Structure 1
Amino acid sequence: MRAVAVPRVLAALVLLLLTALPTALPKAAAGEPGAAPFLQLRIDRVTPDVVTTTSDPLVTVSGVVRNIGDRTVRDVVLRLEHAPGVDVSSGLRTNLTGNVDQFDPVADFITATPELPRGQEVPFTFTYPIRAADGPSLRIEQPGVYPLLVNVNGTPDYGAPARLDDARFLLPVLGVPSEPGADSAAETLNSVVPPDTSKPVRLTMFWPLADKPRLAAGIPGGTAPVRLVDDELATSLAPGGRLETLLAAVDFATSPTVDPGGDVGRALCLAVDPDLVVTVNAMTTGYVVNDGPDGGPTTPTRPGTGQEAAIGWLNRLKALAQRMCVVPTPYAQADLDAVQRVGDPALSAIATTGAADIVDRILGVTSTRGVTILGDGPLTGGAAQLLSGQGRTVAVTAAPLTAQDDATGLGSSADLEPVRYSPNLVTMPFDPTIGAALAGAGADPAAPSYLHSSLEVPLRQDSPVARRQNAIGSLLWRGLRPEVEPRTEVVVPPLVWTLRPDDAQAVLTSVGTAIRAGLALPRPVGELIADADAVPAAADAGWPSAEAGSRGRVDDAVTSGIAATNGRLAGLTAALGVDERTGLTGIAYTAPLREDMLRALSQSEPPAAREDLAKQRLSVVTDTVGDMFGAVRIMNPGGAYTLATERSPLPLALRNDLPVPIRVRLAVDAPPGMSVDDMGEISLPPGYLPLRVPIEVHFTQRVAVDVTLRTADGLPLGETVRLSVHSNAYGKVLFIITLSAAAVLVLLAGRRLWHRFRGQPDPADLDRPKRATVTRTDGVPLRSDPLDTAIRHAPDDSPRRAGARGDQPVGDQK
């Protein structure tokens, strides 16, 4: 019985599991997409992308639906839905995500496929009229910007029917065309609804030409060939590349054949990053690329491949700049709030006012001064104070905006009224929803850091066509809403913009269409500056909030590190001169390193990656600056010096491995008893310089002398060298004693000789006792007083010679 019962129990458990399995698997609730993705919609074509009074009255939306889940989806059905026109600028974002309550179906669901296996896709196409007296239509009666939605439902295996995905986009309607099937020209004309052009918006658009910093960190000036971190610019500058696409699109859109009246050209202004043109200009003479991950000056390199592309692109930019407005961005798109925290006025000037001089010199034009574009981050209190100290300027910055107005709880529009924060600073805000929509277009969509989190939309799941529609719809929205004030608009795309050729063409075509349709008037940058100058001071303006730029904010550790390194570099630069052989100046030699500080603060990188990249670049630059200080040094002799006299000079040798001369001073830590003459400032040329340091020593011993080399302003160079010095000098007191003793000795010897020549005894010998005379048996004295001997030997005495055995006669002398 037990053997039979066990199989029955197992069978019951299996049946129970099979029954419960569908409910245990992920299940999408009806009416909203499930947590587990099953289907994905992609919009491939919207025709027309901008509806005008003369366009086709039918709107066609086509694309594909793909099964990206882990099981088959059955009964895949789709329908097109529409929402009322956007009436506040926040709606340009909120209609693209979140609730779908505002959307109504255009028509019933259509079946795309009864069964869609995993990994497969099926196309779809919707075609509906803009409006129709009867039958399905988009029911658009007035110009505006209208959100559309494609909704897909299906039944995943082991699940219930549910809405599995949706794709949303904006459809700009500049004018409503006639209804389909109009019988006569009169009916067609009467049914057309043109836009309200009574209050056109004054439009200014900055067209960016910028890139991420590409010059390798820690490479000073005068280094040939120039070194880049990678070779991506070679692709970007070549035909079809990102920068070439941006340049070609604006060149074509403003050409006399396309823009004969010059209206688009007057509405546009090139926003050029000085760091980009510096890099491209350096590439034109040949360059190398780092072939290793560390990116330091010792990294192996390989030849770059973009020299010809750089030459061609830069020449085209120079030609375009001759007929267009040019405004420089902050150098390397540096975060001005972080630059202000560094606290170096010279670095602040390079980032702002000095940027225009660089662009002018390379492009051969006079760029427009008085405009500062804050491309990614908002205007903070620190950035405002920095700009106020750099002279009169207009800060083009994103206006603060959230999805809902705190007072009403309804959607809100960006306040684009200019604000004067100081006599030198006026802000000219731009709508962040437009900037974000433009940032979402192209091959690398991103959300700028100034955008409030309530206005963010998922970008990666939207198709390039849908993102393009959102960009041009947002761009045209204010012109189609004459009731929205003020009637001015500044358009600032992301500075590092990755547009495809069709994206760039669509954006510039929309600008031209708005101007030709009477919805917009070009406002050149000169007029924008004039409008800003007319803004009165606000009584309670104050400074912007310090927390405004919290997203993507550069860490204080980075700014303090930059301040320390930049301070040392500035001190070294002040001591450097000009190499007469090459013409290289100290300022030009250290300029790339100062610019590296700004590249470390660049906002061109995503906020999440900025801090790590900044620390990496700062580390390399700090090491290079340290090596530069160590390159000017005192050569250590490694032995001992012996000074022959008290005034023997101290021999030294200085070494300068920098390519420019440097003004230095010697600091000798002399022990007591040694005095060192100050040699003043020494111009130390590149190479080797022997020196003889005048000293005076007043002792005789071995001592240690520390010698340090410093800049003219006192910064230490190289390492302190300790010399072992042995002195044989006697000193002044011993010298005087010795000299006195020698004088006394000479005097006494002279007196004795004087008396001897006169045949007189020396008075010093008169008081001496006479010596006893010892004689032999033969009467000859063995020892006698010298004076007695001298008396006894009178001149007439016969001379004698001492014989072998005493004094014996040696013969008569003749």
Structure 2
Amino acid sequence: MLVRVLTAAVLLLLLATPAALPGAAAAEPGSAAFLTLQIDRVTPDIVTTTSGSVVTVAGTVRNVGDRPVRDVVVRLESAPAVTGSAGLRTNLSGNLDQYTAVAPFITLSTELQRGQEVPFTLAYPVRGTEEPSLRIDAPGVYPLLVNVNGTPDYGAPARLDDARLLLPVLGVPPDPAIGDSEGVSAVVPPDTSRPVAMTVLWPLADRPRLAAGIPGGTTPVRLLDDDLATSLAPGGRLDTLLSAADFATSAQVDGDGAVGGALCLAVDPDLLITVNAMTGGYVVTDDPAGGLGAPTHPGTGQEAAVNWLGRLRALAQRLCVTATVYSQADLDALKRVGDTGLSAVATTGAADIVDQILGIRSVRGATLIGDAPLTAPTVSLLGARGPTVAIAAATLSAQDPGGADLTPQRNSPDVVTAPFDPGLGAALAGTGGAPIAPTYLDEDLRIPLQHDSRVARLQNALGALLWRGLAPEAEPRTQIVLPPLTWDLNPGEAQSMLTSVASAIRAGLAVPRPLPAVILETHRAAPPEPNPAPEPTLDPDAFIDNGVTSGISAVTGRLWGLTSALTADQRTGLTGTGYTAPLREDMLRALSQSVPANARNQAAQQRLSTVSRTVADLFGAVTVVNPGGSYTLATERSPLPLALRNDLPVPIRVRLHITAPPGVAVTDPGEIELPPGFLPLRVPIEVHFTQRFAIDVNLSTADGLALGDPVRLSVHSNAYGKVLFFITLTGGVILALLVGRRLWHRFRGQPDRADLIPPTPRHPDPLDTALAHGDDRTPPTDELR
């Protein structure tokens, strides 16, 4: 009985005692996934003297854990204004000491079940004599934090999540308690004595979409997928970017041309080539690695491509346009490839493509280093192409107290750098539907982008964009805005970005600085002595393998060799350079930084393999036709009949190489221009013996690159050489002498011995022979007579 009582008591104790929950009482969010907090709306997103005196932050708290959470409460906290570029990042993660509560916690739910969510709205004045308020008394960029606490079942109260954002304040509105009664003195305007010279590079680029390994002249054009059809259509990504730039610089919105003066379209020539090809109709391959032989289906974006390209051409007539590096190729990796022709296509040749398709003269002299940091190999590559301004990220660490150093630098005699703020670049890259952390950003400045909502990330970008104009102590007073080249914004986000630029200019915080002025002033301001670019820490995921770069170098070298042998087809107008250009451009697409860092090497290797197979097929398409039998030469000088085949759509200059055994002399036919199709040849040879022998025949380009497969011909000769010659000559001489002798005797009337009939020997009669033998015996008697 006692045992039963004790057992019951133990069971009651276990049921009454809550299980310990590891990490339930942790002070950091994310130690256990119970609640998530998402910011859904910030009003106003930019505070001005006329935007209203109250800031509203609305969002949602959701229970994502495996148990109910009780006593769910939230509150808003704020921090002092950001004083340096690094603060644009460090205030969004890590330490919380700088934040103080704006108001007490507000209860959202006494118990939030699994999967449930609850909205919240926090609204407080920007400043005020009465609490609570944000206590903002001067323009600047202020970090805000929304903190959510709760008590998970079987746990203790803890801070379960938070969300941080930046609030740009261009001007402080009046205190709501005072209103406008004090007039102008009721507001605090920004300091506009030192405006920032602003340049905005508005990107129009995309990932490589053309299928690999397809040479020029191939119709219809093949794409890897049909995503561009959606992107170019109304509401798509590229349509959104183009529409926003067109609207913000239109005469109705930008009457004085201030925004248009600061804005320059950064256009990827690879995108233009692709869209221009789509306007003529295209197909989508079902196997991206299949090359020419893969099945396809019709694309759906021809009309969208025509409309988008037409609008871009119209906008380019009134707005600055500059070319990006072709397909946003990684210049550091391209330097390791070591092909000067490919480097020229990627850099200086990119502008020519943009000009040809858009019908304009684009701005030259600047090289946009997009996702990657500026390295010594990149500087070396650019310096070999001539003077240029490299627009690249400045160096910045979490320990830097002030703003990033944007002073122009000279990295080599021909390369100067116009730096942009990496804190700003990273904030811009974190916006939209595909947020990324650029590889040029220091590891200590990276924040977990997927944790923040799209609205919060947009707020961070607006704050970073306006920070330098609101920080009069930051030097120098210049700013280049370079978002990620494959920026993915929705229409509202794109409009907010350009509205912020316009607001900064209209408020006197910024002045437009056209890109040509950036190029000119950077060359003038850069110190005369070169200062080599610091060697940054490269992201191992984004580093293109040496195996890929060496493979690209080998394939490109063979491709240049083939191109130099190709000529133009007079019937179609297709040139050798135009025929092989897409394959060289494929090598630049393989190095594209628009591909996510962790997938670059795989995508590069796949494209390289496909192009390698195509290049091998091109070399194999020009060859000697194998007759499959043997030749018989009637004489020692009978020509050798051959047939050459060219399956390429353009003529090619080739040389014929014939390897014959001793005793066979072959006349070199020299350089041959082989048109598309078949070309019969008769090669003069001379054979000095009679027997069956083999001849090896192969083709090469004029520079010696082997084409096709070598062919071995079996040849039989009827020639007898010098012995036959002398025998024939001797017989002819004897015959001539005999004929002359007969004619001589005939003319003199003398019989020739050859005409006389020799006496026929007389054969004895058998009877006479018998009688003769009889005479030798005893003479006959008289009686017998």
> Is 1:22 matched with 2:14?
no
Q: Which amino acid aligns with 1:566?
A: T
For 2:283 and 2:641, locate their aligned partners in 1 and report how far apart those are by CA, in whole Å. Answer: 43
Q: 1:172 maps to which residue? A: 168
In 2: Cα distance, 1:780 partner to 1:192 partner: 173
Q: Secondary structure at the match of 1:49?
A: coil
1:333 aligns with 2:328: yes
- Give, in whole Å, the separation in 1 of the partners of 2:768 and 2:728: 46
Alignment of 1:597-676 (within 5 A): 597-676=587-666
Work out whether 1:484 is the aligned partner of 2:479: no
Match of 2:386, as an amino acid?
A: G
**Equivalent residue, structure 1, for 2:765:** 777
Deviates more, 1:25-34 or 1:200-209: 25-34
Per the TM alignment, residue 654 of structure 1 is displaced from its structure 2 partner at its CA by: 1.0
Separation of aligned partners in 2, 1:239 and 1:270:
19
Residue matched to 1:447: 437
Aligned pair 1:261/2:256, yes or no? yes
| In 2, Cα distance between equivalents of 1:546 and 1:471 | 24
Partner amino acid, structure 2, of 1:776: P
- Matched with 1:803 is none
* Cα distance, 1:268 vs structure 2: 0.7
Query: What secondary structure is seen at the aligned counterpart in 2 of 1:534?
Result: helix
Q: Helix, strand or coil for the counterpart of 1:332? A: helix
C-alpha separation in 1, matches of 2:561 and 2:86: 50
Q: CA RMSD in A?
A: 2.2
After superposition, residues 398-409 of structure 1 pair within 5 angstroms as: 398-405=393-400
Structure 2 contact 203–267 (Cα < 8 Å) conserved: yes
* Counterpart position of 1:130: 126
Q: State whether structure 2 residue 186 is matched by structure 1 residue 191.
A: yes
Distance (whole Å) between structure 2 residues aligned to residue 546 and residue 567 of structure 1: 30
Moved more, 144-153 or 391-400: 391-400
- The answer to whether residue 492 in structure 2 is matched with residue 502 in structure 1 is yes
Is 1:531 the equivalent of 2:521? Answer: yes
Return the letter of the residue paired with 1:488: T
Does structure 2 retain, via aligned residues, the 8 Å contact 1:669–1:705?
A: yes
* Cα distance in structure 2, aligned partners of 1:780 and 1:489: 148
Q: C-alpha distance in 1, partners of 2:478/2:651?
A: 55
* CA distance in 1 between partners of 2:532 and 2:123 (Å): 54
- 1:514 counterpart = 2:537: no
- Is contact 1:420–1:535 with CA below 8 Å preserved after alignment? no
**How far 1:27 moved relative to its partner?**
3.1
Question: How far does residue 382 in structure 1 lie from its aligned partner after superposition?
Answer: 1.1
2:326 paired with 1:342: no
Pick one of 583, 586, 599 that aligns with 1:596: 586
Supply the distance in 2 between the matched residues of 1:383 and 1:775 (Cα, whole angstroms): 118
Q: What is aligned with 1:318?
A: 313
Q: Do the aligned partners of residues 34 and 235 (structure 1) sit closer, same or farther apart at CA in structure 2, a change above 3 Å counting?
A: closer
- TM-superposed CA distance for 1:728, in Å, is 0.8
- Deviations, residues 79-106 of structure 1 (Å, cap 9, x unaligned): 0000010001000001001111110000
* Contact in 2 for aligned 1:199/1:519 (Cα 8 Å): yes
Deviation at 1:26, TM superposition (A): 3.3
- 1:409-488 counterparts in 2 under 5 A? 411-488=401-478
Write the distance in 1 (CA, Å) between the matches of 2:628 and 2:354.
51
Report the CA distance between 1:537 and its aligned residue: 4.0
Q: What corresponds to 2:561 in structure 1?
A: 571
Aligned with 1:270: secondary structure?
A: strand
Give the whole-Å Cα distance in 2 for the aligned partners of 1:157 and 1:381. 57
State the number of aligned residues: 766
1:360 lines up with 2:355 in the alignment: yes
Cα deviation digits, residues 325-354 of structure 1 (max 9, x gap): 000001111111111111111111110111
d(CA) in 1 for partners of 2:378, 2:316: 28
How far is the alpha carbon of 1:667 from its aligned partner? 0.3
Counterpart of 2:77 (choices 78, 81, 85) is 81
| 1:393–1:551 CA distance, 2 compared to 1 (3 A) | farther
Query: 1:413, CA displacement in angstroms?
Result: 2.8
What amino acid is aligned across from residue 655 of structure 1 in structure 2?
R
Distance 1:522 1:183 in 2: 34
Residues 90 and 398 of structure 2 are in contact (CA less than 8 Å); yes or no, is this contact kept in structure 1? yes
Aligned residue runs from structure 1 range 763-774, under 5 A = none
SS in 1 for 2:452: coil
TM-superposition CA deviations, 1:450-491 (whole Å, max 9, x none): 111111111112111101100000000000001110111111
Once the 2 structures are TM-superposed, how far is the Cα of residue 589 of structure 1 from its aligned partner?
Answer: 0.8
CA deviation digits over 1:150-191, x for unaligned, max 9? 000000001110000000000001111111121653x24223
Cα separation, partners in 2 of 1:12 and 1:585, compared to 1, 3 Å:
farther
Q: CA deviation at 1:54?
A: 1.6
For normalisation by structure 1, the TM-score amounts to 0.91
Q: Once the two structures are superposed, what CA deviation does each residue of 1:374-412 show, in whole Å capped at 9, x if it has no partner?
A: 11101111111111111211110011111114xxxxx45
Deviations, residues 625-654 of structure 1 (Å, cap 9, x unaligned): 111111111111110111110111111111
Q: Percent identity?
A: 65
1:772 Cα offset (Å): 11
Q: Deviation per CA, 1:112-142, whole angstroms, max 9, x where unpaired? A: 1101111111111111111111211111111
Structure 2: how far apart are the matches of 1:459 and 1:549? Answer: 17
Q: Which of 156, 177, 198 is the equivalent residue of 1:160?
A: 156
* Distance change (3 Å), C-alpha of 1:753 and 1:500: same
Residues 214 and 293 (structure 1), Cα distance of their counterparts in 2 relative to 1, 3 Å cut: closer
Whole-Å separation in 1 of the counterparts to 2:767 and 2:527? 136
Alpha carbons of structure 1 residues 161 and 778: separation in structure 2 relative to 1, 3 Å: closer
Measured at CA, do residues 643 and 267 of structure 1 come closer, stay the same or move farther in structure 2, by a change above 3 Å? same
Q: Does 1:309 align with 2:286?
A: no
Which amino acid in structure 1 is aligned with residue 103 of structure 2? A
Select 2:690's aligned residue among 697, 700, 706.
Answer: 700
The structural deviation recorded for 1:743 is: 1.6
Measure how far apart 1:771 and its partner are: 11
State the alpha-carbon separation in 2 of the partners of residues 43 and 188 from structure 1.
34
Pairwise CA distance, 1:10: 6.2
TM-score, length-normalised on structure 2? 0.94
Residue 373 of structure 2 corresponds to which residue in structure 1? 378
Q: Quick one: which amino acid aligns to residue 485 of structure 1?
A: E
SS in 1 for 2:293: coil
The 1-side partners of 2:303 and 2:179 are apart by 59
Cα deviation, residue 422, structure 1: 2.3
Aligned to 2:391: 396
Q: Which residue of 1 aligns with 2:774?
A: none
CA shift, 1:225, in A, is 0.9
